[in-house]
Structures are given as structure tokens and as C-alpha cells.
Structure 1
Amino acid sequence: MKKTITTLLLVFSVLSTHAQQRWQQLPFNIEVNSGEQDWMPFATYIEADSTMYISGNFTDVNNVPCNVIRVFDNGGYDFMPYNPYHSIRCMAWYHGKLYAGGNGLSYWDGSTWNLIDSSFNTMVANLDSYDGKLLVTGVLDDLTGHNCWKVATWNDTIWEDVHEVNSLLSDCNYDAVNSVALYKDQLYLGGRFYEFRPNGDTLMNMIRFDGTKWTDVGSMYVQYQSEVRCLQVWKDTLYVSGQFTEARGGPGNSIAAWDGNQWSRLGAGLYMEHGVVEDMQVFNDELYACGIFKEVNGFMPPGQTPEDILGYAKWNGQQWCTMGTMSDNIIFRMGSTKNDLYVMGGFTHINNSPMKNIARWIGGNYTDTCSVAQEPTGISTLHEDAYAPQMYPNPSAGKFTLELASRPSSPLKFTMRSLTGSVVFETDIRQSTQIVDAGKQAGGLYFVTLSSADKRYTFKMVIR
């Protein structure tokens, strides 16, 4: 009996140790700029030299002046010479040089850092390539010399607008472009912006250039103060993550898929009230997502308490899986080399084990909970067509016609909300064609939800 107990204890000990070793602390002691808050590490993998670059608003690593760490495919690393010009949020390879963006723009020529420009008011959020030029997004007024520019290209000599998009993003204090993607030969921009055009069109949080003009993307009409944080192309689909929910008109809970024509949901998504999916990363042919959330596909994994921040899950195209990863703070970014996956953020512990700021996944194929989405493909269309509702005229003065393909078997709830989410008008829809009079409402954009027990439709309504 004693031998059996000893064996069981030994097995339990091995399993516990294995569970604790799913993440590995990298040997980096990072010092943050004094007084800085937005210092989270960022990661960029450069195919040209098979290297992942970790950057951020830090000043030294392991007591060595450094603000860029190079991590190689074999797991090794070194520290690049210190960039003295500005903090570094993003990096990209362009014309044989390594560009770095943050509170300015500079490049590494192989031996030294060279400054293009820097300013306290500048914040370069993304660097990419587009049309043979370096695509730069962020707060670019001082950098480009143009007021209120959020998007620009650089060709080593001059700054240029991108298809006149800056004339659309006119709110200098509110508008932000967080992510870019080239999908099906069209340029997509995702971020935080709401623009009401004179012709009644709206551009909200996500737009695309179709070759001739900028347009809204499939009615990405989510609540005011929501935003798109990340765009990721995977398996001929554009995945979009950020801060939005189905309940408030979004195409999913913090994450959704766009096929070029319509939105689809990924099961019940990744949910927490006021939660957000900050970043996505494709690794080993699976889509990983991180941020602040507690429910994965509508469930809390076993062992998770209401206080735990899950913040990390993966999607294989058919199901969501959790990986036994709970942190004490947000997992802000992910990065990968060809062999390893990394997470970065403001955490000091993962699974109650000390793990600060940057960690490497060493858990192999481990998962602790997987749940299949309701549809076999794992992607379901958000808006059903049983009633195919139409509203006209739109814009209107507050009185309009709602037309359905068939008469509802039970009343549909018609709810009209302002940009702040306040309900300004409600009524029941009982006929296939019904005139709705919302009364006198202030001019502007409203969100209309038409719902029953098992169906929901969301529209934009403009009141003049």
C-alpha cells in the first residue's frame, strides 16, 4: 500500500511539474522608461533575416542599454545596439534596411541607427509595405509635416498620402489606425474612427480601398468607442479582432471573419464585459488570439475563477481550444519564430508561476479544453435571411418603412440606439410591411436592432 501511494504521488508530481512548464520565462530583466505607461513589448518577425525583433519603450535589458532584442529561429538571442532617438513600437524591412517606428522613425543600416525624424507628438503604430513603398500608420502630423495625417507612405525621400484617405479621417484627436492588411488585392485599415459623410455614408472602425475609392466594410457598425485592434489573413480569410460584441451590433464577440463579402462569427468568440482581443498570430497552421477575456466559445475552462484573466486561446478553423494559460494581467502581444511562440505583456505571473513580461510556449500540442462551434465549418453567418428586412428611406426624418420577406409568426422587437448605446425608441414589428415613426430624434447615426428569440439583424439608420 505504501508503495502504491508513493507511485501515485510521484505521478502527480510529474504531471504538476509538466503543467507548470508549459511556459518558459525568457532571461530578460527589462527596465522601463521612467514614468512611461505604454511600454508593452512588441514583436515583429522579419522573413528577410529569419529573426523576431522584440521592441518597446524600455531602456535596458539585463543592465545593458538596449531597446531591441533579436530572437533567432534556433531560440538564441542577442541585444541590438541601443537606438538613442525614440521608443520603438514596430519594425519592418524595406529597401535592405531595418526600419523602426515609435515616437519617430529611424532605420538600422547594418552598423548604426539613422534618424529620419522624431517628435513627442509622433506615434508610429504600424510599419508595412504597400505598392513598393513603406506604409506607415499612426499619429504622423510632425513626421510628415501634414496636419492630422494617420496613414502615409515613405519611399526613402518623400511622404505621400494613400489614396487620399487622410481627408476621410478628419478627427485628429479621436481617429486612430491600429492595423493594416492586404486582402484579395484590396488594402484594409482597421482602428478607431467614425466619419459621417455628406452623402449619408459612414466609415466606422474598418475601411477598404477597392481600387477606386474607400468604402465601409460590410457594415462594421459597432458601438461608439469600440475599435478594431488587429487584422490577420489566414486561409484566404481576413480575421478581425478588437473591442466589439454581438450584443452591440458587432460581427462577433471580440473576433470575427470576413470573406470579402460578408461577416461570419467564430462560434461564441472570446468574451468578457469590456474585454478585447489585442493581437492574433498564425503559428503551426492555427490562429492564436490574446487579450482580455474570460469566456472561450461561451464557456469558462475548468479551474478558472471569475477573477482569472484567461487572455489566450487558439482556433483551428473548427473549434476553440484553451491552453491552461491564466495571467495576472493582460497578454498584450504575440510573436513567433519558425519554431517557437511567444507572448508579451504586463503580466508578472502565468498560472501562478513567476513569469514577467515575455514568455515562450514550451507546451507542445497541449490543450486543456476544446469546444466545437455550432456549425461544422466553425464559421457561421451572423445574419440570417428568414425575413431579409429592408428599411427605406435611409436617411430619413425619423419616419420610414420596414419591409420583411414574410410576416413574423411572433412580434419582432425593434430597438433604436444612439451612438452611446442609449435606447431612444422601441416598438414591436407584427406585419411584413410596417411604417415606423421614431418621433423627433437628433440628426446623426443610430443603430437599429430587429430581434426575436433566435434571430437578430442590425442596421445603421441615419436621421436628418
Structure 2
Amino acid sequence: MHFRIMFPRARRFLLAAAFALAGVASFTLSSLPAMANLPSASSHAEPSTLQWVATSVAAIAHLAPPIADFLQPGGTLDLPTGFAGSDVPAGHQLKRASGGALRFAPFVPGDEYWVDGFGEPGMADTVHALAMDESGNLYAGGDFVIAGGVGASRVARWDGSAWGPLGSGMNHGVYALAVDGQGNLYAGGDFTTAGGADANRIARWDGSAWHPLGSGTDGTVMSLALDGQGNLYAGGRFTMAEDVNANYIARWDGSTWHPLGSGMVGYWYPYVSALALDRQNDLYAGGQFTNTGGVDANYIARWDGSAWHPLRRGVEGAYPTVWALAFDGQGNPYVGGNFTSAGDQHARNIARWDGSAWHILGSGVNYFVYTLAPDRQGNVYAGGKFTYAGSIMTPYVARWDGSAWHSLGSGMWGYRPYPYVNALAVDGQRNLYVGGSFKTVGGKPSSNIALWIGEAVRYRSFSPFVPTRYSTLAP
């Protein structure tokens, strides 16, 4: 079938309206004097000005030029004066640009699963962390002061329909979030106040107010993780937690800070940027360090409650760092960051540890991985600065199904020189929430926050999934 758009004769258009093209093979533009009172290209044509006409594709396709002959960089059409005839829009689809204008854009399979207008108008600045509670609320932390058009200073909550603030928020960035079984939200970053009260780089939200965790830390908190006994682990660029020598990692038991051995040692500026716990409550830590508790450990290590252990040779590369850690449903940790090998395996920026050996994920990804999130069906999502996963072009976010990489439509793009994805979270309905620094997703405007429903649509029935409580920070 095709559709016909009728406009006045001898007019040059910049056509800002386009059409949903599923099943549409071509359209015809006719010059009819009777239609001379229709809006010009500078106004927005109403649907009543569009006449849909069914016809045979074969009868017109061989005469019609492709839409690319007239497509302008902004997605509009620039038609020659007096143009009449057919055009073939195959491979393009309707997109709504910022401000509501319609335009043509190339169709990429999977883009239909990015939710158009999620949380509009999005976040006013970068999102660094995401976390979900067991009621399905989504929490976001970052550099923003506005979330969904509402004032929300560096932290906000999405309740399924709207963004809202958490008190007066923080005075500086939030880089890590974690939620416990009682619904308390923990936030870490480089702030010094939370809810207007002193809170040095870490604080707890109880649903109505912010509370400090002792006197906090003396440096940035970059990662958080909770075990099943109510202990909170914090990693970052600090050396003191309250009055305890911590060296980049510490444990909060609800009232007091504790060190984890002698902490970490490393070249240049050590830090712990990723934390995650396994089923035995062993803690895995990743970051920029080469020694833990006197034991050589290249950028990743395991704490068993009393001592640190390396994961064989760890990871290596030109400037190696582990930015992300996450466990799949079988208890295997996935590791993402900036590295070229894991153990004796050539692993580009992502790898899996099975408890005794390292494994690659295809040929990996072509640049940094900043965040990882598994779902209950064996998929692992990765986000970061990469544009390729294996041989698949998938800008800044990708899905690993256990044997191969998959794109999420056309992924993310942005105005900054280097868009990136910093945070991922999967809810109990298999929806994927994505935070970072970007302006479009799947060809749709989306400011720093997005929602992908691809796997939720494909798999409507599955066991409930308790969200993973971890967060990682990218620079």
C-alpha cells in the first residue's frame, strides 16, 4: 500500500511531517489546485490533510525514487518545485523530534522497543546510578537538579508515572545507590549535605528524611553494595571512614564503620569503583588497585569476611580498571571495565569468572564498560562508551544472551563528543532502565534516562526477579 499527500502546485517544501511506515511501501505527492488552502511546510499539517490510499506496491515502486533522494539531515523532505509523483519511504519510519515536530528517520529493528517520551523531559544532566526497590520504584542519582521537569537535586524517584524529589536532595553529585530489604535507600557521591544536613559523601533515605552514616568518609564514594545481614559496603577514593583507616573500602554495620583488612593499594590514585556480593555473601571489589591486604590482586579481588583473595591474574591492559561487577542467576560474576585480558584470556573490556577460571564474551566490546545488569533469563546487559559488541554496532548499550551479542535497536546518541551509559537496572517485568549522558535513544529524544521493553514484550511470563542491589560509577 502507499499513501498520498496532496499539496498546492509549484511549492518547495521542507516537509516536517512523516508517517509510520510499517507495511507502507511508497507515497504519492500530487499537485491539485483544490488543495491550495492546505497548510504550508512551516505549519503543522493535521491528519485530516493526509489521504491514505491503498494500491499495489509493484505497480508504482519501479517508477518511484527512494526517499533518500529528498531526505535532509534533519529528517525533513526538500522537494523540487512542481514535484508530482511517487516516492518510496521503505526503510524509514516516523519519529517525533524534540518540540513535537515529525520527521523521517531510518528504521532500525528494535527501536520500536525504546519507550517514546519516558519520563519526559528526562534529566537535566548526567545520570550516574540507578537502583530499584522491591515495590518497583526506580531511583536515579547523578549531577541533575531537575528530573522530569520537577526540581530534584541529584537524586529522584520514579513511581511508575512521574519523577519526584527525595527531600531537598544533595548539594553535589550522587554516584552510587543501593536499596535494602526494608526500603531504605543509600546514596554515595561527593556531596557534603543531604536534605540540608551534614552528610559526608554517604547518606540514608528512610522514605521521608535523610540521615548521615556517622561522620561519613573523607573522599568520594563511588560504589555501594548490601549483604543479607544488613551490612553496607562502600568503595571509592576515600582513606578514612569516620575515624577508621579504610583505604578505599569500608563496611557500615548500621552504627559503626569497619575496615576490610588493610584495604587496597595501587599505582597513581587508587580507588574502588565496583562492588557486588555473591550468594555466600563474599564481596567482590573492582577498581584501580594492584594489592589487597598484602596480597597481589590486579584490579579485582574477593573478600571472604576475613581475608582478601585474588581472581588468578585478575585483569590487565594499558591502563586497566574494573568499573562494573554483576552476578548472573547462576552466581557467576561478570566484570566490565578497561582491560584487554582477564587471566590468560584475551578479553576486550568484559569477561566472566566461574570461580576458578576466566571466560570471554565473544570478542568483547570495543571500548569501556561502565555498568552491567543481569536479568533472570540469563541475559546480561552492558553499558558504557563502546559502539560495537563483537561485530554488532550497538552504541553504548548491548545484550549478551550467553553465546552472542545483540543490539538494542540503534542505541544511544548525544550532543557531547562522547555519549555514554553509566547505569542499568532491570525490574521484575524484565524492563531495562538506562541512565547516562545521551540525548536520543532509538532515534527518539531522551534526555539521559531511557526505558527498553524489548525483552518484556518477548517474554511476558517468568518468575519474579528481585533487583540486584549494586551500583557502579563511571568517570
Same fold per superposition (TM over 0.5): yes
Q: Distance in 2 between matches of 1:241 and 1:111?
A: 35
Q: Which runs of 5+ in 2 are unaligned?
A: 3-54, 62-87, 95-105, 191-200, 414-418, 459-475
User: Any idea what SS the aligned residue of 1:126 has?
Assistant: strand
The residue that corresponds to 1:330 in the other structure is 420
Q: 1:148, 1:172 within 8 Å by CA — same for their partners in 2?
A: no
The SS at the match of 1:225 is coil
**Alignment check: 8 A CA contact 2:334 2:351 kept:** yes
**Does the residue aligned with 2:167 lie in a helix, a strand or coil?**
coil
CA contact (8 A) 2:221 2:234 kept: yes
Query: 1:212 Cα shift?
Result: 5.1
Aligned to 2:283: 187
Aligned AA (2:440): H
5+ residue gaps, structure 1 = 33-38, 302-308, 368-464
Q: Provide the residue aligned with 1:88 in structure 2.
A: 174
Cα offset, 1:14, TM superposition: 5.9
2 CA distance for matches of 1:56 and 1:91?
10
Q: Is the 8 A contact 1:333 1:344 kept in 2?
A: yes
Matched, 1:154 2:252: yes
TM-aligned CA distance change 1:289 to 1:7, over 3 Å: farther
Where does 1:28-427 land on structure 2 (aligned, <5 Å)? Answer: 28-32=121-125, 39-47=126-134, 49-61=135-147, 62-72=149-159, 74=160, 77-84=163-170, 86-94=172-180, 96=182, 97-103=184-190, 104-116=201-213, 122-130=219-227, 131-141=229-239, 143-147=241-245, 149-162=247-260, 164-166=261-263, 169-171=264-266, 174-183=269-278, 185=280, 186-195=282-291, 202-210=296-304, 213-236=307-330, 237-246=332-341, 251-270=346-365, 272=366, 275-283=367-375, 285=377, 286-297=379-390, 299-301=391-393, 310-328=395-413, 329-339=419-429, 340-363=431-454
Aligned to 1:149, the other structure's residue is in SS state coil
Q: Deviations over 1:14-42 (max 9, x none)?
A: 6967855432343134344xxxxxx4331
Asked if structure 2 preserves the Cα contact closer than 8 Å seen for 1:25 and 1:356, the reply is no
More strand by share: 1
Q: CA deviation at 1:79?
A: 3.2
Any idea what SS the aligned residue of 1:41 has? strand
Distance 2:117 2:129 in 1: 16
Q: Distance in 1 between matches of 2:329 and 2:230?
A: 24
Counterpart AA for 1:318: S
Q: Secondary structure at the match of 1:261?
A: coil
- Percent identity between matched residues is 24
In structure 2, relative to structure 1, the CA distance for the partners of 1:311 and 1:249 (3 Å cut) is farther
Amino acid at match of 1:108: W
Flag the 1:331–1:233 CA change in 2: closer, same or farther, 3 A: same
* Pairing 1:13-28 to 2, within 5 Å after superposition: 20-23=111-114, 24-26=116-118, 27-28=120-121
Taking the aligned partners of 2:215 and 2:146, their CA distance within structure 1 comes to: 20
Taking the aligned partners of 1:108 and 1:196, their CA distance within structure 2 comes to 31
Please report the RMSD computed on the Cα atoms of aligned residues, expressed in angstroms.
3.4
Distance in 2 (CA, whole Å) between partners of 1:57 and 1:326 is 22
Aligned residues: 343
Query: Aligned pair in 2 of structure 1 residues 318, 251: CA closer, same or farther (>3 Å)?
Result: same
User: Matched residues in 2 for 1:229 and 1:314: separation?
Assistant: 18
Aligned equivalents of 1:233 and 1:196: distance in 2?
A: 21
Shift of residue 313 of structure 1? 1.4
Seen in structure 2, the aligned counterparts of structure 1 residues 191 and 151 have a Cα distance that, compared at 3 Å, is same
In the TM superposition, residue 160 of structure 1 has moved relative to its aligned partner by 0.7
How far 1:161 sits from its partner (Å)?
Answer: 0.8
Question: Any idea what the Cα deviations from partners look like across 1:123-173, whole Å, max 9, x if unmatched?
Answer: 1122222353221111333542345621111123221112x142xx13495
Residues 1:171 and 1:190: Cα distance change in structure 2 (over 3 Å) = closer
Change (3 A) 1:196 1:95: closer
> Structure 2 CA distance, aligned partners of 1:13 and 1:276?
31
User: In the TM superposition, what whole-angstrom CA distance separates every residue of 1:409-440 from its partner, at most 9, and x where no partner exists?
Assistant: xxxxxxxxxxxxxxxxxxxxxxxxxxxxxxxx
In 1, Cα distance between equivalents of 2:329 and 2:181: 28
CA 1:239–1:124 in 2, change beyond 3 Å: closer, same or farther? same
Report the CA distance between 1:176 and its aligned residue.
Answer: 1.2
Distance (whole Å) between structure 1 residues aligned to residue 293 and residue 93 of structure 2 = 62
Kept in 1, the 8 Å contact 2:128–2:176? The answer is: no
**Aligned partner letter, 1:341:** L
